[in-house]
């Protein structure tokens, strides 16, 4: 059974409402501009640090459960805690107000590490077991601390709110599913590209934190080799990944080491 066709007046009204929604979403996004106190970067953030911390704490148990829970190896967990605390306490991260906690997950299949908003940081046993030394562990955790202090999760939340607002406006104005699908695709591409920039920024911050804590930042390149090997021969092209290819990050890591060495770190 076919639905009723919109009348001319109804279509015009939906178009107006859609434009108002789009305008509100854009205005809300750009009015949330702030400057990151640590990186000096202009960002669009729609939530407070306290809200980031609350989101991270609320999500942490569920994320652990999705990866098989925490690894029941207290000695290994103590090492993760020790390295994480050393990185935080010897860097600018200490004064950011975030609540840093480090978790070793029991996941033996997925080679991964990630950070939730506000300071909840995770590393899987699959990655932890392949690290050769404490410096490589510091490279992984330093990178994830970088995501927290650079407020990348908060940036993504603000961008998703903008994307959802514009997508909803497009659907309302046109009633065309294809328009909504195109809007989602555009939003996804924008967010993926932005994610790669974030990863490179966190490599740089990771080098910075490692140097301040007395770790060897060259060991981060060994982590990249582990990640490249774990991806295997069927890895998708870099453009369609939220992370840059590990081998393409080595030069940037070298550049960061030279930069911070020149600054006296």
Which token pair is 162? 């903008």
Q: Helices in the chain by DSSP H: which ranges?
A: 8-30, 49-66, 74-89, 125-128, 134-149, 152-174, 177-213, 219-231, 246-262
Give mean pLDDT in consecutive 10-residue pieces for the chain, a chain of 265 residues. 52 61 57 74 80 89 94 98 98 96 96 92 97 98 96 78 56 49 47 68 96 97 89 55 69 95 91
* C-alpha distance from residue 265 to each of 33, 99, 216, 249 (Å): 31, 25, 11, 21
The pLDDT, as a whole number, for residue 194 is 42
What is the distance between the alpha carbons of residues 123 and 190, in angstroms, rounded to a whole number?
27
Which token pair is 233? 């021969």
The pLDDT, as a whole number, for residue 40 is 79
What is the distance between the alpha carbons of residues 75 and 180, in angstroms, rounded to a whole number?
50
Residue whose tokens read 């790669």: 196
Q: Are 155 and 211 in contact (CB under 8 A)?
A: no
Which token pair is 63? 């994320």
Q: List the end-to-end C-alpha distance of the chain, in Å, as a whole number.
A: 71
What is the distance between the alpha carbons of residues 218 and 22, in angstroms, rounded to a whole number?
46
State pTM to two decimals: 0.76
Q: Are 99 and 119 in contact (CB under 8 A)?
A: yes
């Amino acid at each position: 059974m076919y639905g009723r066709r919109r009348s001319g007046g109804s279509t015009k009204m939906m178009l107006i409402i859609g434009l108002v929604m789009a305008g509100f979403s854009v205005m809300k996004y750009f009015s949330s501009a702030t400057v990151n106190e640590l990186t000096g970067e202009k960002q669009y953030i729609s939530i407070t640090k306290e809200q980031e911390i609350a989101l991270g704490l609320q999500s942490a148990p569920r994320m652990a459960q999705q990866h098989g829970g925490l690894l029941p190896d207290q000695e290994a967990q103590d090492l993760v805690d020790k390295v994480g605390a050393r990185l935080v306490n010897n860097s600018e991260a200490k004064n950011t107000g975030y609540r840093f906690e480090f978790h070793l997950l029991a996941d033996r299949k997925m080679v991964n590490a990630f950070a939730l908003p506000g300071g909840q940081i995770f590393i899987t046993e699959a990655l932890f077991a392949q690290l050769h030394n404490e410096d490589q562990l510091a490279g992984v955790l330093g990178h994830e601390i970088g995501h927290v202090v650079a407020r990348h999760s908060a940036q993504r939340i603000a961008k998703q709110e903008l994307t959802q607002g514009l997508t909803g406006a497009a659907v309302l104005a046109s009633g065309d599913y294809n328009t909504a699908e195109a809007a989602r695709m555009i939003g996804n591409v924008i967010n993926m590209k932005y994610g790669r920039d974030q990863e490179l920024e966190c490599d740089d911050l990771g080098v910075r934190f490692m140097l301040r804590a007395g770790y060897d930042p060259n060991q981060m390149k060994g982590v990249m080799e582990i990640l490249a090997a774990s991806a295997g021969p069927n890895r998708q092209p870099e453009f369609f990944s939220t992370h840059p290819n590990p081998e393409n990050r080595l030069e940037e890591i070298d550049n960061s080491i030279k930069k911070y060495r020149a600054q006296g770190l």
